[in-house]
A and B are shown apart, each in its own frame.
Chain A
Amino acid sequence: MSDIALTKEKYPPGDFGVWIIIYIELITFAMLFLGYAFSRRGDVELFNQSQLMLNQTSGFINTIILITSSYFVAKAVQNVTNMTQENYEEFNKKASKWLIFALMCGASFLVIKIFEFSHIFGEGINLSTNKFFMFYLLLTGFHFMHVMLGSIILFNIFQKTRRFGYTPEDTRGIESGASYWHMVDLLWIVLFPLIYIIR
C-alpha cells in the first residue's frame, strides 16, 4: 500500500507549481507556433525567401547542444534520486559534475545565439522587417530568455549540490529545475525545424 502511495507521489516529478508554469509556457509557445503557421500560409513565398537568410548550421549545433544538456541534467537528477542516507554527499558531488557540463552547454547555446542575433541585426533586420522575421525574433528571443532563466535555475541547483543540499527526502528542487530545463529543450526541438528547416 505504501509503495503505491510512494510511486504516486513521484509523478509528476518536482513541485506542482513548476508544472503549472510548464503548461502555461507550452500553451503560450503553442499559440505563437500556430500564429507562425497561419501567417506563413498567407505568404509562403516571403517566409521561404526570408528563411534562407538564417544560418541553419548554427541552429543545428544549438539543437545538439540543448539535447546534450538535457542528457547531463537527467544524469544529475538520476544521481540525486538514487541516493541513500549513507551516500548522499557523494551523489550530490556526482550530480554537481553533471550540472557543470549542462551549464556549459547552456552558456554555449547563448553565445552561439548572440552571434546569430548580431548577424541578423547587422543585416538591418528588426521586428518590423516582415512577418517572418517578427516571428523569428519573437520566438527565438523569448526562447533565449528562457535559456537564460533555465541556466540561472541550473546554477542555483548546482550550488545546492555543492553544499550537499539534496537528501533522499528532499529532491523536489532539482526535479523542478530539471523539468523546466527539459521544457526549454522541448520548445527548441519544435522551434528549430519550424522556423529554420520546414519550407
Chain B
Amino acid sequence: MDTTTIKSNFKSEEYFINMGPQHPATHGVLRLLLTIDGEIIKKVEPDLGYIHRSIEKMCERDSYQQIVHLTDRMDYLSSHINNEAVCLTVENALQLEIPERVKVIRTILGELTRLASHQLWWGVMGMDVGALTTYFYGFRDRELINDIFEETCGARLTMNYNIPGGLMFDIHPNFVQRTKDFITHFKTKLPEYDRLLTGNVIFQKRMKGVGILSKEDAISFGASGPVGRGSGYSCDVRKHHPYSAYNQVTFNEVLKTEGDSLARYQVRIEEMWESMAIIEQLIDNIPEGEYKVATNAVIKLPKGEFYQKVETARGELGVYINSTGTKNPYRLKFRSPGFSNLSLLNHIAVGGKIGDLVASMATLDLVIPDIDR
C-alpha cells in the first residue's frame, strides 16, 4: 500500500465551528465561520455586520462638521486620525490654507494616537497568545497618553478635536511638557515590552513562520499599514503622500520582508520608536499662530469628487466625498484599513492550528467597527 491509500483509510472529518460574534479572541463582534479538521483550520469565513451602523449613509444626511464626529466611532483607537482624514478632505476641497500650527499639532496628536493604539494592540496581542500580564503594561502607558488627550481635547477615546479649518480649540498649556514627559517615560518602558514578550522563546515559536503573507499577496489583498509593511510592501501614506506636517519630519518607514506574524509584530514595535522620534522633532517647535481658520457656518463643498488618504494606526484610511455642491455629501465612502486586512485572514490562517489563527488575527490588529462602519 502506498501512503495515499493508507491516508485515505483514516477518516478525517471536517467540522464547523462558530467563532464569535461573542468570542474573546475576536475583540468585538466579528464572527468567524471556521471549518476545522481536528485542530487544523481548513477555511475561515468572516461574517460581518454585527456592528454595522450605516455611518456612510448617515454622513449623507449630516453637514461636514457633523461627519467628523461620526468618524470617531469607526476605528475608535485612531479616532483623532479619522477626524483628521475627513477634515483634510473638506479643507482640500475648499482649498483652505491651514496654519502651520494646526498641521504640527495634528501630526503630534496623530502620532500620540498611533502610540496609544499600538500600546493597546501590544497588550491585547500578548493576551491572545496567553500572556495576560502584557495587557496591564500596555494600558499603564496608554493611560498617560489618554491623560494628555483628556487635558487637550476633553476626551480620552473619541477626541473630536479636529474641525474643518483647524482645531476646535488651542492646546492646553501643559500639553508640551506632558508630551515630553511621556516620551521620556515611554523610552524607558518600551524596552520593557521587548523583555517581557518579544524575546520569550514560547512567543517567538508561536509567531515565527506563522501566518505568512507574501508581498504579492499583500498588494493584491490591499493590505496596508503594519500588515503590508510586515510583508515588505512599502505602503506608508505618511511617506508616499505626506499630509499635515509629515513632510517636515524625518522618519523611517519600517519594513520587514518575512511576512509572518513576528514581522508584523516587530513593525509595530519599531513604529512606536518612529512615532516617538516624530513627536520629538515637532514638540519643541510648534509654530505660533491661529489654531483655526474661519469657515462658513454651513460648509458647502464645490461640485466634484474629493479623496484624501491618511495613515491610521491600522493602515490606509481613505475618505471619498462626492459632492453635488450642497451642504451634505451626495455620497461618502470610507476605505477602511481593517476591511482589507481582514480579507486576507483566510489566506494566512488556512493550514494552521486554532492557536495560529488567533495569533495571526491578533497581528492584523482588527478593530471591528472599522470593518463594519
- State yes or no: do A and B come from one complex: no
Q: Which residues of B contact A (CB under 8 A)?
A: none
A residues contacting B by CB (< 8 A) are none
